[in-house]
Amino acid sequence: MRGMPEHFSDLVQEVAEKSFVKHAVRLAEFDNPLLGPPLQIETPAQLARHVRHVLLNPLSVAAKLSDNRVACYDRYSNTLVVLTPDAKRPGTCYRPDAAGTTFQKLLEDSRDAQSQKRPQAFLGGLYAIFPAWRGQLQMAEEKPAAQTQLSSGKPD
């Protein structure tokens, strides 16, 4: 994940644009109350803010996976973000149909071939696994309404 702080906003935008049509529009995952609280994501920009929130949220769980991938899971919104270093495939963002199980499966599938140890997951989003990035990656000034509702318990 070298170069991540310099290209963080671009990567977040690419993930949101790649995921928006399939997961927000076609599958309507972010409005489905069976997958978590409705997030009212109607544009790629709103999804980008949500992706940024999941990645930088101190309550998100993060892990380094095999193939230089990184995954962050926010259990409150039931959102999984997977980042890949390959520019052709920036990653994805979606809501798993069973809270947390997809994140656990990613950890299991990323077991080290020799030691059979699975990657450790840490609370704290990207900063938990890349502490040197603290202060280099910024939260968006504008949060989606659903995020502030989730954190405060009432709508803005």
pTM of the full predicted structure?
0.80
> CA-CA distance, 44 to 151, in Å (whole number)?
22
Place of tokens 């709103």: 46
- Give the chain's domain count: 1
26: left (phi over 0), alpha (psi -120 to 50) or beta: alpha
- Alpha-carbon distances of 32 from 17, 39, 44, 138, rounded to whole Å: 20, 9, 17, 29
What percent of the chain stands above pLDDT 70? 80
- Provide the pLDDT confidence category of residue 148 given band limits of 50, 70 and 90: very low
Phi, psi of 42 (to 5 degrees): -120, -10
Report the relative pairing of strands 121-123 and 70-74 from DSSP bridges.
unpaired
The model's pLDDT over 64-80, given as tens digits with 9 standing for 90+, comes to 988 888 999 999 999 99
Phi, psi of 151 (to 5 degrees): -80, -30
Phi, psi of 70 (to 5 degrees): -130, 140
Residue 25: domain span: 4-152
> CA-CA distance, 75 to 85, in Å (whole number)?
24
Report the relative pairing of strands 121-123 and 91-94 from DSSP bridges.
unpaired
**Is 97's pLDDT higher than 80?**
yes
- Provide the pLDDT confidence category of residue 86 given band limits of 50, 70 and 90: low
